Amino acid sequence: MRIGIFDSGVGGLTVSKEVAIKMPFNDIIYFGDSIHLPYGNKSIQNILTYSRNNVQFLIEKKCQIIVVACNTSTAVAIEILKKEFHPLPIFGVIEGGVREALKKSKSLKIGVLGTLRTIKSSSYKNKILQYSPRAKVYEVASPLLVPIIEEGFKHKAITIAIIKSYLEAIVLKIDSLILGCTHYPLIKKLIKTTYPGLQVIDSAKATSSFLAKKIPPTNPRNRKIEIITNDDNEVFRRIAKKIFPKEKVTLLKNENST
């Protein structure tokens, strides 16, 4: 089955990479809606419109399964997308991360880092409490992390200082931390070295393991990976090259959404 994956920009390639590794026999089409990045501080209405357009675009590309790699889109739009595009299977990134955190956490005291919109939606918290009502969830919006990661986090000391300032109020209370944003797996190592005692849950890894169990392999010979964006920018190309060194990036000429 052909898997369509979308995100607000390049970040969702972290999810695509894990999907590509765990599901080597499925075609993958990735769409990065870079023109509208960031989703994390946009209105719910706009995030919904962009997300709908992205799904529509991937349907036109003959995708039979959609993965919403963006945590913000998942938080705000997944239930609506599932209803509107029924019976198309649509998966988000929150479910996998939550299941993994509940497996790994001993104290059931779990932290979540995410964009403003993801944290405001309480989607991670609600999902954790749905599965485990005894859990305690500490959510922190960390909007500075996306831009610093996109900069290539050359300024390691500043990145560590930002991580510490976001986590200092909760880090002694929790034993596990969910990286609730597409970009954060790129600083997972840094978070782990800063807080070695913490279980760090990477939603990209958790989501791909979850999907691999659900989706049958279909193209055992020469599966294809296509990366498409609607904005030709250096950040997209640099990060895409780092994550998928061999795949070329196609620029979408006619913007699919405005």
Helix axes 44-60, 71-84, angle to 10 degrees: 60
Helix axes 71-84, 94-104, angle to 10 degrees: 120
Does residue 115 bind ligand DGL (CB under 6 A)? yes
| Residue 72 or 105 having the CB closest to ligand DGL | 72
Does residue 70 bind ligand DGL (CB under 6 A)? yes
- Phi, psi (deg, nearest 5) at residue 172: -80, -10
**Sheet strands (E) in the chain:** 3-7, 28-32, 65-68, 90-91, 109-114, 136-141, 176-180, 199-202, 225-229, 249-251
Residues 9-28 that bind ligand DGL (CB under 6 A): 11
Name the one range near ligand DGL by CB under 6 A: 36-44, 103-111, 154-162, 235-243: 36-44
Name the one range near ligand DGL by CB under 6 A: 58-66, 180-188, 204-212, 244-252: 180-188
| Residue 74 or 199 having the CB closest to ligand DGL | 74
Q: DSSP for 57-85?
A: HHHHTT-SEEEE--HHHHHHHHHHHHHHT
Q: Which phi-psi region, left, alpha or beta, contains residue 152 (left: φ > 0; alpha: ψ -120 to 50)?
A: left
Site string for ligand DGL, 134-153 (x = CB under 6 A): ------------x-------
Q: Among residues 4, 32, 38, 92, which is the contact residue for ligand DGL, using CB under 6 A?
A: 38
| Residue 39 or 124 having the CB closest to ligand DGL | 39
| Among 70, 77, 90, 163, the one annotated catalytic | 70
Active site residue 63: no
Q: Give 253: exposed, middle or buried? Use CB within 10 Å, 0-12, 13-18, 19+.
A: exposed
Does residue 96 bind ligand DGL (CB under 6 A)? no
Nearest residue to ligand DGL by CB is 40
Q: Which pair of tokens denotes residue 250?
A: 């196609």
Q: Among residues 8, 105, 123, 229, which is the contact residue for ligand DGL, using CB under 6 A?
A: 8
Q: Are 66 and 91 in contact (CB under 8 A)?
A: yes
| Residue 90 or 181 having the CB closest to ligand DGL | 181
| Residue 170 or 179 having the CB closest to ligand DGL | 179
Q: Which residues contact 48 (CB under 8 A, 6 or more apart)?
A: 76, 77, 80
Q: How far is the CB of 148 from ligand DGL (least distance, A)?
A: 12
Q: Among residues 159, 182, 207, 230, which is the contact residue for ligand DGL, using CB under 6 A?
A: 182
Q: DSSP for 206-251?
A: HHHHHHHHHS-----S---EEEEESS--HHHHHHHHHH-SSSPEEE
Residues 183-222 that bind ligand DGL (CB under 6 A): 183
For the annotated catalytic residues, the residue numbers are: 70, 181
- Kindly list the residues in this chain that would bind ligand DGL in the complex (CB under 6 A): 7-8, 11, 37-40, 70-72, 115, 118, 146, 181-183
